Amino acid sequence: MKQNLRTLFLFSFLLLIMQISFAQEKSITGTVTSKTDGIPLPGVNVIVQGTSNGAQTDFDGNYSITASVGDILNFSYVGMTAIQITVGNSSVINAQLEEDAEQLSEVVITALGIKKSRKSLTYAAQDINADELNKVRQTNPVNSLSGKVAGVAVSRSASGAGGSVKVTLRGNSSIGNNQPLYVIDGVPLSNPTSGQPSDTFGDASGGNRDGGDALSLINPDDIESLTVLKGASASALYGSAGLNGVILITTKKGKSGSFKVDFSSNLTVDSAAYAMDFNSTTQNNIDDFLTTGFTSINSISASGGTENAQTYFSYSNTFSEGVLPTNELKQHTFNVRETAQFFDGKVTANASVMASTQNIKNRPVSGLYFNPLVGAYAFESASESLSDYSNFEALDPNRNIMAQRWFRGTSDIEQNPYWIINRNVGKDVNNKLVASLNLNFKINDWLSLQTRGTYDKSQLSYEKKVYATTEATLAPLNGRYIVNETDFTQLYGDVIANINTQINETTSVSAIIGTSTTRNTTESLVADSGTNGGLQFANVFAYQNFNGNPAVNLTQRSLETRVNSVFASATIGFNDRVFIDLTARNDWTSTLPAVNNSFFYPSVGVTGILSEIFELPKNVSFAKLRASYAEVGNGFAADQIAPNNTIIFGGGGVNSQSPIRPFPGSTPKPERQKSFEIGTEWKFNNNRIGIDLGYYNTKTVDQYYPFSTSTSIIGAAQAYLNSGEISNTGIEISAFAIPVQNEDLKWTTTVNFASNKNKIVKIYNGQVLEGLIEPEFFTLSSKGVNTFGSYLVEGGSFGDIYAQVVRRNADGLPIIEGDAVIANDDNTIDGLTKVGNANPDFTLGWNNSFEYKNFTVDFLIDGKFGGETMSMTEAIVEGFSNNSSRETSNGTVNVQVDGAATTMSAQDYYGKVGGRNGFTGEYIYSATNVRLAEFALGYNFNLAENSFFSRIKASLIGNNLFFFHKDAPHDPNVSLSTGNSLQGVDVLGLPSTRSIGLNLNLTF
């Protein structure tokens, strides 16, 4: 019995020793990496479950924590799926985390490529992932933003595939550039524009062209995500370059693991869909002239790698034939990106090269010159059709050359449209190369050093051959030859120290300190035989055939700008609940003298996580309040402060007209924008419902205006002066919901709303300077010989439209005296009356995505409400033909003739008020429109386990399908120019297209 007791006691003692041994704490170490690419993850939270014992991984992903055998370690990281690992006998526990699609939206790429958690942001930022951009693929990926991001206004070009895009964030604020800055992988992208229509005729001196932009040269399939930083607080770290907000593009990179190939093919059929109403005969002629176009976009990418090196390669091509005959686009894009880690991950290298070439023949133009639509719309003959003149030339025996055929004499704006597309041929060649290298050095667990360098070259070439017998306004007797070659080079480099540390248990600091340098050079050659200089021999298109006289334009320019900067940013977190964000940047620019070339831009913001500070109802998943203030500026062009006089070609000496210079005695300084915003974000019911509401107020002061002055004082008709103030206030709402989510069906819906109010507070600040003529207004688009204009007037708004308006009696009837329509002359600016504004009162986008088993359905409804648009197309057609529908519908118009009320036929009335210099106020329409912008019906095929493919998806897609509501006779979403002028007016722009097609995605 005693023996049994001794045995039992010994056994119990051994069990006790074992339990004490197992419960004894020990040091656990390990590394946490990303499962997709093997890259170490800094800042991962490692916590012993059920305790307050925790640690964070350092820059190399390493951690150390004390725990006991049997304890459970929780690993969590923003954007990754949390995992749990039970502590065993080993003292080394490594972990791999996978990306969590639902949490990825909580990680935001911010200025300079810095990653931040969304909850710490003190400003508005909205992102779109690659899938959303490419469901309905477009040649320019920025076109896909319309309706998907609150506060972003996108106007498509009337120049077809490869055309430039006008994007404004939170309204127009400057008489200079209003386009945002585009940034790829943290580095600013050079996005030069070469040629835009400058008036309703188009740019006659440059051949009337849209030079396109760099965004159309990017392969949409290379984009991983796109983030829009809307306000100055978000973009202040970019200094003057970020005045108008920033669109950040993050590209794809290779991932460790198995080798993967993605292939996509997109083919759409494009048809002209939205044009003014013509009579049936004219419409038949136009239908015969315009064609059915197509767009094909194909892309293939390959990626893979080891834990230490990953590669991504892609090639894409785009082929397009437009609805305008002879219009063609061919584009090829290559992209290579290599990432690698050295010295146990202490050094990370990221290198990439993107090369793109684009060739466009006969890019469609807007405006009156060189526009085939003028003749197509104006053709009228009782015995012939427009197609009878497809044989557009005949031998002129007197000159022994082929001469233009047309049913009547040509005019300055009207020619045979077939002649224009075959004998006024334009060709654009755009090439772009972007090469970058990014090196990151891990100094210790809280400090890293990053250095980046980018070489960005854009080569834009334009050639136009204008054959003899072209209308004399556009070309002299022997024809005309235009060549425009521009070479833009941007060199960018920066060095940034990244600091990420925990000051104490409650306070964390994430900061950067850095410096950057940017050098932009422009080399250009413009050779134009001109409308007066001409060619020596007919239709010989060569420089040596130019006549040697001063009327020929042969201009060579070389410009350079340099900007050096220092900047710093700090985000201070308190208990991971309250965050204070501070940024500062100072720029030094070469475009100003050293005494005043330094500019400082600060910002400050604060955000509080209400759901963690207060105890809120259980259905509130997340709540946040944010506010920020920032100041940014806008710099100067290379040749703006001290421009050189022009040397005239052919021995003409120096141009006697002095270029516009700063006003004597004034010190030029960049315009400055002061911006305040406040917002709140809420999520409910386990993050299935959410809303982001924001308000902003911006004031842009010290605009750099050219003011009229006395030539006896300054030697020129105008001089620049800092003056004026433009304000923008607005509300932005972005909301999402997942109303249905079960095993078979998921429905995700988002709504984006934005309203912006713009006001011209001041034009003139009241400076009293000798020779200064106080302005009544500032001209954006002068009326010239037309009766349309756009002006900035105190109390008005950016985008106001002015037109010649018919005087009406008390009953609203047009007044006609004798045979003349009487013009209104009350409250006019430059003889014109304000008739509307091109900008909408508010925009609304509704995006929906349905996933049912293997099927997907996506559609976007895009609406713009309020604002006005002018159809000079209709005015011009009705002024010199009888081709509009309402002219031949036997309708009547109530008028007052010589004091008596009567009626007049629509043909007679619109013939009197129409024309390019007629009563354009009669051609104003509401710009409100609601359209089905995108639609996609897709199917994911079930594949066998041994299938060669890992994914196959096919989709039926449509773009710009139809309007639920539209009052204007054209598509109001199409822009005539990406500049500040010509907004809200359609001048013979190519009708926008409806596109329907198929998309195929393969992965293997």
Name the DSSP letter for residue 276.
P
State which residues of the chain have pLDDT below 70: 1-24, 36-39, 59, 78-79, 99-106, 193-209, 211, 650-652, 656, 711-714
Work out the number of other CB atoms within 10 angstroms of the CB of residue 719: 24
Bridge pairing between strands 107-109 and 924-926: unpaired
Reference 114, options 580, 575, 339, 448; nearest CA is 448
Tens digit of pLDDT for each residue in 175-216? 877 888 888 888 888 887 656 666 666 665 666 667 677 777
Burial group, residue 397, by CB count within 10 angstroms (0-12, 13-18, 19+) = exposed
Name the phi and psi angles at 591, rounded to 5.
-80, -5
What pLDDT shows up at residue 37? 54
Tens digit of pLDDT for each residue in 548-600? 888 888 888 899 999 999 999 999 999 889 999 999 999 998 988 878 888 89
Q: Return the beta strands (E) in 343-386 as ranges.
A: 347-361
Q: Return the beta strands (E) in 577-688 as ranges.
A: 578-589, 598-609, 620-634, 647-648, 653-654, 661-662, 671-684
Tens digit of pLDDT for each residue in 724-779? 899 999 999 999 999 999 888 999 999 999 999 999 999 888 877 777 777 888 88
Reference 534, options 525, 550, 544, 546; nearest CA is 546
Name the phi and psi angles at 653, rounded to 5.
75, -150
Name the DSSP letter for residue 175.
S
Q: How far is CA 749 from CA 160, 586, 741, 847, in A?
A: 31, 42, 12, 6
CA 695/CA 630 separation, integer angstroms: 14
What pLDDT shows up at residue 16? 43
Q: How far is CA 42 from CA 28, 46, 514, 788, in A?
A: 17, 11, 21, 59
CA geometry: angle 243, 676, 177, nearest 5 deg: 20
Amino acid occupying residue 7: T
Query: What SS3 state is found at 933?
Result: strand
As given in the structure block, the two tokens for residue 101 are: 């699609």
What pLDDT shows up at residue 22? 42
CB 634 within 8 A of CB 705: no
Q: How far is CA 220 from CA 140, 250, 314, 615, 654, in A?
A: 8, 11, 11, 44, 47
What pLDDT shows up at residue 204? 58
Residues 6+ apart with CB under 8 A from 340: 308, 309, 310, 348, 349
pTM: 0.86
What pLDDT shows up at residue 9? 47
Query: What SS3 state is found at 85?
Result: strand
Q: How far is CA 564 from CA 245, 427, 643, in A?
A: 20, 37, 22
As given in the structure block, the two tokens for residue 775 are: 């302005």
Residues 6+ apart with CB under 8 A from 890: 905, 906
Q: How far is CA 151 from CA 234, 250, 868, in A?
A: 14, 21, 19
What pLDDT shows up at residue 2? 45
CA 880/CA 907 separation, integer angstroms: 11
Q: What is the DSSP string of 825-864?
A: -SS-BTTBEEEEESS-SEEEEEEEEEEETTEEEEEEEEEE
